[in-house]
C-alpha cells in the first residue's frame, strides 16, 4: 500500500480522476398523458423476436379485446425485429411507421 510519501516510478502510469456518471447528453422530453380507455384505439405491437412474444401477443390481444370494444392491433410483423442485424434501421423507421398505421399506443415485448 502506498502512502502520501511514496514516490511513483516514471514507468508507472498516472490517471486523472473522472466522474463516473458523466454529463447528460440528452434533452428532457415531456411524456404524453396516459390513455385511460383503450376502446377504439390502435395498438402497435413491437417485439425483438425472442422469448415467446408471438404467444404473449395472442393472449394480450384476446384479453384487451374482451375489455375494450373496438380496439385494433397492428401486428409486430409490420414493424420488424427491434433487435438484431437490422435493429438500427427498424427502430429508425418506427416513428413514421407508427404514424402511418395510426397507432395511439405501443406494446413493446422483449425476450427474458
pLDDT in tens, 65-85: 999 999 999 999 999 999 889
Residue 71 within any structural domain of the chain: yes
Residue 64 within any structural domain of the chain: yes
pLDDT digits (tens, 9 = 90+) for 38-73: 999 999 999 998 888 889 999 999 999 999 999 999
**What sign has the CA pseudo-torsion 75, 79, 80, 82?**
negative
pTM of the model: 0.71
Domains: count for the chain: 1
Q: Which residue has the cell 473522472?
A: 18
Residue 69 within any structural domain of the chain: yes
Asked whether the beta carbons of 104 and 42 are under 8 A apart, the reply is: yes
* Domain extent at residue 72: 47-109
Amino acid at each position: 500500500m502506498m502512502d502520501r510519501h511514496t514516490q511513483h516510478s516514471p514507468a508507472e502510469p498516472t490517471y486523472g480522476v473522472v466522474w463516473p456518471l458523466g454529463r447528460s447528453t440528452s434533452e428532457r422530453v415531456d411524456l404524453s398523458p396516459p390513455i385511460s380507455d383503450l376502446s377504439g384505439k390502435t395498438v402497435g405491437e413491437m417485439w425483438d423476436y425472442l422469448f415467446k412474444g408471438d404467444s404473449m401477443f395472442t393472449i394480450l390481444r384476446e384479453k384487451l379485446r374482451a375489455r375494450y370494444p373496438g380496439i385494433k392491433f397492428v401486428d409486430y410483423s409490420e414493424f420488424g425485429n427491434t433487435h438484431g442485424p437490422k435493429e438500427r434501421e427498424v427502430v429508425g423507421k418506427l416513428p413514421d411507421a407508427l404514424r402511418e398505421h395510426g397507432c395511439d399506443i405501443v406494446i413493446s415485448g422483449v425476450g427474458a
